[in-house]
Amino acid sequence: MSEIPSTDEALANLSMPLLDAMMTQRAIRRVKPDPVDDAIVVKCIELALRAPTGSNGQNWEFIVVKDQRVKDQLGKRYRQPWSIYGALGRRQAANDESMLKILKAVEWQVEHFSEIPVLVVPCLRGGTRVPYVPTPFVGETSYFGSIYPSVQNLLLAARAMGLGASLITMPLWNVTSARRILGLPLSVTPICVVPLGWPRGRYGPTTRKPVEDVVHFDTYGNRGLTT
């Protein structure tokens, strides 16, 4: 089991090579209940804010949840869809070892949600369309797309500091309830949740599709790799 670094050590680890951080950033769902220093969480958010947003709106808000009652309520919301999705997933993935492994980790997270030391809830202000864009479609993709670059920055910062993190959306399935739990006005929409804590396991390389399977040159279907 990995050691918990001091705040100074964790912050110093931000100098980790970008390539190493990107190649080993993955969902760490099993975390220890030990507290995470606010300075570390705030640093993750400060680095998240270097990301782009549609029309440079910077219309983001980050709720840092440590209060037990708020965590319990969000945990209860997570358990509701999981009781259906988890059972369905296990049935569908009966012969898929790697998917079963993920589902076990998700189950751990759902069951221990209240013990996770910090939940960051990235939110967006305004209606679900970015202004000054030509069509509703571009407005909507730009709106929701305005949070995820910042979330990826946050995940990479957490990874560099050795802090376990994952990106989840299921606890927010009932947005009205999520707003009430978090005290959000109607003008602020919670988009996802990033649970943070010191890992019980360790970071390691991720398994992803090979690049040749997803890249197309000029038009869809043109797989020829040019050199």
Ligand X SMILES: Cc1cc2nc3c(=O)[nH]c(=O)nc-3n(C[C@H](O)[C@H](O)[C@H](O)COP(=O)(O)O)c2cc1C
Query: Which residues between 80 and 119 bind ligand X (CB under 6 A)?
Result: 102, 106
Of 182, 137, 143, 116, nearest to 57 by C-alpha is: 143
Q: Give the nearer residue to ligand X in terms of CB position, either 64 or 102.
A: 102
Residues 162, 2 contacting (CB under 8 angstroms): yes
Could you tell me the smallest distance in angstroms from the CB atom of residue 27 to ligand X?
3
Residues 57, 136 contacting (CB under 8 angstroms): no
Helix axes 68-92, 175-182, angle to 10 degrees: 150
One of 13, 26, 90, 112 touching ligand X (CB under 6 A):
26
Residue environment code for 141-151, b if the CB has 16+ CB neighbours within 10 A, otherwise e: ebbbebbeebb
Judged by CB under 6 A, does residue 2 bind ligand X? no
Query: Which residues between 154 and 213 bind ligand X (CB under 6 A)?
Result: 166-170, 206
Could you tell me the smallest distance in angstroms from the CB atom of residue 4 to ligand X?
21
Q: Give the nearer residue to ligand X in terms of CB position, either 14 or 102.
A: 102
Give the footprint of ligand X on this chain (CB under 6 A): 26-27, 102, 106, 166-170, 206
